[in-house]
Structures are given as structure tokens and as C-alpha cells.
Amino acid sequence: MIEVSNMSKYYADYPAVLDVSFSIKAGETVGLLGPNGAGKSTTMKVLTGFTPPTDGNVSIGGFDIIKNSFEARKLLGYLPENVPLYLDMTVTEYLVFMAKIRGMNESVNKRVNEVIEITSLGDYKDTLIGKLSKGYRQRTGISQAIIHNPKVLILDEPTIGIDPVQVVETRNLIKSLEGEHTLILSSHILPEVTSICKRILVIHEGKIVADDTPDNLSKRLQSTNVCEIEVSGSNKLDIIKLFRKESYIIDIRSKPSTNSSYNTFIIETSSNESVEQKIAKLVVENSLGLRKLIPLSLSLEEIFLQLTSD
Ligand code: ADP
């Protein structure tokens, strides 16, 4: 349903999204997860034809978002980060207006009522949008995104800035839309994505650093051993090079050290090997002073942090 190949988006010479490729099947619920500034909104703006990619191709339902923009956009419902609401319209007036913009002529009132029912806006249907709380404005935003029953629904940080009770209600609302639409949701909140989505694309500094189910992301963490070491001597890059030569080391990353005379690293090793001894031996043989060597167990939250830290 959605094909993104080698897509990059530059703002002047700054690559907000860099060479990203993924595809999403009809009916999938996918979370785009990443810290602020990772490139989530930019990716969504390109997917929705709001802004063109600098490089690469994006197609929605087989229609190229640039060459067949109109056909592609007909298939999309979009809740942007800042929802363009008209504060002096009532909820119903706004949804009728949006339905007409979407080219609907028949059964507009019936569909508006249906959507108001789905998003539980019944008590506020004649209220001016300017008088609604942030949570109800967000529901109005979601209502306009689904008014034309789009095949693809793209929601950019749908719960940002709303109170905790409404966050839960909004998440439930989004969950209830699952299956009806191919759904992409962006968030910087891990539990939000894991509670709604069956697949997670982790984006960091404009690149996809993981693409998996929440379960597999957890398993991936459990199927590897991770330990933290703190050593003195040599420089960071030399130490990293030294460890990378070892076949049982999957990855090594430096992290800020609490003591400036030491370098701290997180080392990921293949499982079923007792590697702590090997690491200790390697450190001693290379005359690095070992200060700390501790095995770590990672939660999904920590995995996310690992994937998105340098
Ligand atoms: P996210 O949605 O993950 O927070 P964004 O896609 O909004 O990230 O931004 C990605 C990067 O691109 C950030 O560094 C941001 O400052 C930059 N950026 C976003 N929009 C613009 C713009 N219109 N002009 C210049 N830089 C931008």
C-alpha cells in the first residue's frame, strides 16, 4: 500500500531524512518511533505529498506521490502535527466543510454524524472548535482525517499536549480504527507505539535504525548479551577498532563516562557464549586498565535508547 524507496529530504543542505526505504502492506498498523528531531514529521509530510522528497520515490496505493499526487492524496487521511482547525466553526460545520473539500457530495451529513459517533464528539457537535479542549480538538482533527474513509491514515504525534485521561481515550480511539485503514502513527513515546502498533520503525537522525514487531525488538535484546565496560588507556577509536575485530562482538558503542580518565562502552555480543571472560582477557592483554565490567539486561525502553544514541 505504501512504498518508500531511497527517500531523502533535505532542508537546504541539512538531511532531515536520509535514504529511507520501507514498505507497508494494506491493513498494517505501523508506528514511526523516534526522539524529537528524528525526522518523523518530515517523513509524514513527504508521504502525504505535503512536501516533495529531495530524492527517491514514494507511492501510495500504486500512485506516485509526485507524478500522480491527486490520486495518491485521495487515498490518504492526515492528522498533521499542528491540525489546521477553524476555531470559529462548530465541529459539525468544520466536518461538513472538510467532507466537501474531499469531494464528497452525497450523504455528507450521514457520514459526518457517523464520524462524530466514532470519535465520541456527540456532546460537542454544535460547539465552536475554539471552545474545545486540546483533546477534543485532536478528536476533531482525527475526524477530518477519516471523514472520507481513506485507505491510509497518517497520524503525526496524535496525543501530544493532551491530558492523560484524553491520551488513553485517544489511543483507544486510534486502536478502534485499526484494520479499517492502513495506519501509520508517529510518536516519541515508546508505550504509545507498542500499545497500538504491530510493527515499529525506529527512526533516528533521519535514518531507520530498526524495523520489527515490539515482541521481536524485545527478543532481539534478549538474544544478545550486553555489557558495559569502563577502561583506561588508549583512545576511544582504537578501543572500538580492537573490539570490532572479535567475531563474538556484534556492536560496540561509546557512552559518556562519569570519570574523565576512563572510557565507557556498551558492548553487544552474541548469546550462548560466556563472553565476559573473553572481554576481560582482551582488555588485560592490550594493557587497558579495567575499572568496570557489568552485564546489562535491556528493557524495550533501553533498546530504544540504544538504537537512538550514538
Ligand atoms: P520529528 O518529527 O521527528 O521531531 P522533524 O521531521 O520535525 O522531526 O525534523 C527533523 C529535522 O529537520 C530537525 O532537525 C528539524 O529541526 C529539521 N526541520 C524540520 N522542518 C524543517 C524546516 N521546515 N526547515 C528546516 N529544518 C527543518
- DSSP assignment of 222-241 equals HTEEEEEEEEESS-HHHHHH
User: Do 57 and 5 meet the contact criterion of CB atoms below 8 Å apart?
Assistant: yes
pLDDT at residue number 180: 80
Q: Which helix (H) or strand (E) holds 293?
A: strand 289-296
pLDDT at residue number 219: 67
Which atom of ligand 1 is nearest the CA belonging to 44? Answer: 6
Task: Give the distance (Å) from ligand 1 centre to CA of residue 37.
Answer: 6
Which atom of ligand 1 is nearest the CA belonging to 81? Answer: 2
pLDDT at residue number 177: 86
User: Do 153 and 77 meet the contact criterion of CB atoms below 8 Å apart?
Assistant: yes
Question: What are residue 128's DSSP bridge partners?
Answer: 90
Helices (H) and strands (E) in the chain, counts: 11, 14
Q: What is the mean pLDDT of the chain?
A: 89
pLDDT at residue number 272: 55
Nearest Cα residue to atom 5 of ligand 1: 39
| pLDDT mean over 9-35 | 94
Task: Give the distance (Å) from ligand 1 centre to CA of residue 205.
Answer: 10
CB of 86 closer than 6 angstroms to any ligand 1 atom: no
- Higher-pLDDT residue of 122 and 194 is 122
**7, 9, 10, 11, best to mutate for ligand 1 pocket (most atoms within 8 Å of CB):** 11
Which atom of ligand 1 is nearest the CA belonging to 45? Answer: 6
Residue 310 has pLDDT above 60, yes or no: no
CB of 20 closer than 6 angstroms to any ligand 1 atom: no
Lowest-confidence segment of 126-130, 137-141, 190-194 by average pLDDT: 190-194
Question: What are residue 154's DSSP bridge partners?
Answer: 78, 184
Its pTM stands at 0.76
Give percent above pLDDT 70 in the chain: 92
pLDDT at residue number 215: 81
Nearest Cα residue to atom 7 of ligand 1: 41
pLDDT at residue number 70: 93
Residue type, 149: N
CB of 61 closer than 6 angstroms to any ligand 1 atom: no
| pLDDT mean over 224-252 | 85
pLDDT at residue number 298: 60
Which of 173, 293, 161, 278 is CA-nearest to residue 226?
293
pLDDT at residue number 161: 80
CA distance 75 to 197: 21
Q: Which helix (H) or strand (E) holds 38?
A: none
pLDDT at residue number 221: 56
CB of 41 closer than 6 angstroms to any ligand 1 atom: yes
CB of 38 closer than 6 angstroms to any ligand 1 atom: yes
CB of 42 closer than 6 angstroms to any ligand 1 atom: yes
